[in-house]
């Protein structure tokens, strides 16, 4: 991984790091479906309408009764 600061893309679920010979490229997977998003956004991305934090989906509500 290179020292480039990707900004929001780093924690966005729509990013993909493409390994290059000299450096890595941060690709936006949203670009495949939505022309508003460039395939390789200019970094660092500081503001993005498509940003969605990566991570596991939220836990379903706990329906167990207590007591
Ligand atoms: S949606 Fe925005 S923040 Fe997420 S990977 Fe694409 S450009 Fe980066």
Inform me whether the pLDDT recorded for 65 exceeds 90. Answer: no
Any ligand 1 atom below 6 A from CB of 51:
yes
Residue 57 falls within a domain, yes or no? Answer: no
Closest residue by Cα to atom 8, ligand 1, is 9
Residue 67 falls within a domain, yes or no? Answer: no
The CA R_g of the chain, rounded to the nearest whole Å, is: 16
Burial letters 34-50, b for 16+ CB under 10 A, else e: eeebeeebeeebeebeb
pTM of the model: 0.79
Residue 33 falls within a domain, yes or no? Answer: yes
The string of pLDDT tens digits covering residues 9-60 is 999 999 999 999 998 999 999 999 999 999 999 999 999 999 999 987 767 7
Query: Which pLDDT band holds residue 67 (cuts at 50, 70, 90)?
Result: low
Any ligand 1 atom below 6 A from CB of 27:
no
Residue 12 falls within a domain, yes or no? Answer: yes
Closest residue by Cα to atom 6, ligand 1, is 28
Which residue segment(s) compose the domain that 7 sits in? Answer: 1-45
Number of separate domains in the chain: 1
Residue 25 falls within a domain, yes or no? Answer: yes
What are 4's two structure tokens?
């480039």
């Amino acid at each position: 991984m290179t020292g480039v600061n990707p900004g929001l893309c780093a924690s966005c679920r729509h990013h993909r790091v493409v390994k290059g010979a000299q450096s890595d490229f941060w690709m936006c997977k949203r670009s495949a479906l939505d022309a508003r998003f460039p395939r390789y956004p200019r970094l660092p991305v500081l503001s993005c309408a498509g940003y969605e934090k990566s991570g596991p989906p939220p836990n379903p509500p706990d329906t167990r009764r207590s007591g």
